[in-house]
Amino acid sequence: MRDLRAVVAGIKGTVKFHAPLRDYTSFKIGGPADVLVEPADVEDVCRLARQATAAKVPIFVIGGTNLLVRDKGIRGVVVSLSRLRAIRDEPHHVVYAEGGVGMPTLIGHAIRRSLSGLEWAAGIPGTVAGCVVMNAGTRLGDMQSAVKAVRIVDPKGRIVECPASRIEFSYRRAKLPKGIVVGVWLQLKPGSRQEIERVVKDYLRYRKDTQPLTLPSAGCVFKNPGKEPAGKLIEAAGLKGMRIGDAQVSEKHGNFIVNCGRARAADVLALIKKVGREVERRTGVTLELELKVVGEA
């Protein structure tokens, strides 16, 4: 604990010891962080990175949406970038967004500026930094297509700028230099506000019609394995509605697990295992997790 106090010494932002991470995840599941920090600004992130490296304490950055935190939580420091929310317009249709900016806010900004290039992300609830780190995407597009460069705080607390050409993007993955993504430059293009708005609205309606957006979840559980989407395979295996504790395979979309009340991470993991096994037994397809599982069981 003394180490942790040294790691957070001088931080201007919010510092909470034993913070329950269910309050920071869209799944509303997860044990405590030893210490949770919401840095006030990038300078705070630099200080935290420097002090954590010196004390050899791990840092985990929590976006919170495509994530399952196990029931005993996360050791060390958990960082939420929720206070890094600035958006800045730059020349040549480039928008700079701090890491904690939510995708819905960013899309709203792009619409107001008649900038196209993020419509594919309509309805993705995550932060822009989280979306870069996992190369978030839908069938309309992905983060790779919009990122121009990222700003990273490295483990020594230095600010590094990394152009997209140095990021290795693949399906739902991005290999970035080690550190914390505190900002992203997006290369957008001028478009018709009406048309951008129409695409976004249509897409939001589609998601509302096909996904269980009113219950806590972590979005899609599995990556789409190939031609047949995971949700379709799960439905064909008759697994919709299957429940362990308060974790349930959504009746609306097979690739969602919803938290019907007080689901524990252990319930979700047991359900994931069952679904994976059953789909494999029936179809021979091995499903791979899209959501990230972290923390101690």
By the rule CB under 6 A, 220 interacts with ligand EPU: yes
By the rule CB under 6 A, 207 interacts with ligand EPU: yes
- The torsion angle over the Cα atoms of residues 255, 268, 24 and 256, rounded to 10 degrees, is 10
By the rule CB under 6 A, 227 interacts with ligand EPU: no
Length of the chain: 297
How many residues bind ligand EPU (CB under 6 A)? The answer is 17
Which contacts of 192-196 are long-range, i.e. CB under 8 A and separated by 24 or more positions? 192/114, 193/111, 193/112, 193/114, 195/116, 196/110, 196/111, 196/114, 196/115, 196/116, 196/119
By the rule CB under 6 A, 254 interacts with ligand EPU: yes
Looking at beta carbons, which residue is closest to ligand EPU?
Answer: 219
| Nearest alpha-carbon partner for 49 in 123, 125, 160 | 160
By the rule CB under 6 A, 63 interacts with ligand EPU: no
Crossing angle, helix 103-112 and helix 193-210, to 10 degrees?
150
Q: Which of 14, 105, 114, 138 binds ligand EPU (CB under 6 A)?
A: 138
By the rule CB under 6 A, 223 interacts with ligand EPU: yes
By the rule CB under 6 A, 67 interacts with ligand EPU: no
By the rule CB under 6 A, 210 interacts with ligand EPU: yes
User: Would you call 98 helix, strand, or coil by DSSP?
Assistant: strand
Q: How far is the CB of 231 from ligand EPU (least distance, A)?
A: 3
Binding residues for ligand EPU, rule: CB under 6 A, are 66, 138-139, 207, 210, 219-220, 223-224, 229, 231-232, 235, 253-255, 290
